[in-house]
Amino acid sequence: MTRKQCFAPVVNSQTRILILGSLPGEKSLEQGQYYGNKQNAFWFLISEVIGIDLVELGYEERLATLLKHGVGLWDVIADAKREGSLDANIKEHQANDLAGLISSLPNLAVIAFNGRTAAKLGTKQLTRLSPRLRLVELPSSSPAFTLPVGKKLEAWMALRG
């Protein structure tokens, strides 16, 4: 079983919303891109939230547009052993320093967890943080979570308000 590592955080001092996944899947790791699997609905969902079509943009432009709109990305897991892409297969994980990152983001107001695993692991770390932060558990954008994309979108739109 190979050890997988997350990507660097995509944030800046303007980040208001931080979306935390669990750990990038195989296709994302192969491409070196957050949500690189075309079957993952993340780029569609966040496009709807910010009102700009990111799906048609190149990866670097997607990230720049997210930052411009106050949205950051990272994962709750720094590295772990995992076969394949399923969160259920994550073993021996090491957590990212969420508190450290959050303390460096002066405008942060919302932490959104992309999926149940991210929420479960991330919430454990963040229970001691400032009550100024709103924590939101979103349905996973992963194709492995079979909730219809329209239902996922309804929940994701909570990031707008």
Domain limits of the chain? 3-160
The verdict on whether 40 is a catalytic residue reads yes
For residue 113, the model assigns a pLDDT of: 97
pLDDT tens, 62-77? 999 999 999 999 999 9
| Mean per-residue pLDDT, 85-94 | 74
Give per-residue burial for 49-83: e unless 16+ CB within 10 Å, then b. bbeeebeeeeeeebbebbbebbbbbbbbbebbebe
Residue of 62, 95, 58 lying closest to 77 (CA atoms): 95
The percent of residues above 90 in pLDDT, for the chain, comes to 69
Task: Pick 3-160's CATH classification: 2.40.50.140, 3.40.470.10, 3.30.450.20, 3.40.50.720.
Answer: 3.40.470.10
Structure token pair of residue 9:
């955080």
Whole-angstrom distance, CA of residue 62 vs CA of residue 78:
23
Residues 14-41: what's their mean pLDDT?
Answer: 93
Q: Which of 12, 37, 40, 89 is catalytic?
A: 40
Residue 45 has pLDDT above 80, yes or no: yes
> Does pTM surpass 0.85?
yes
Interacting residues of 138 by C-beta distance below 8 A, sequence separation 6+: 19, 112, 113, 114, 115, 152, 155, 156, 158, 159
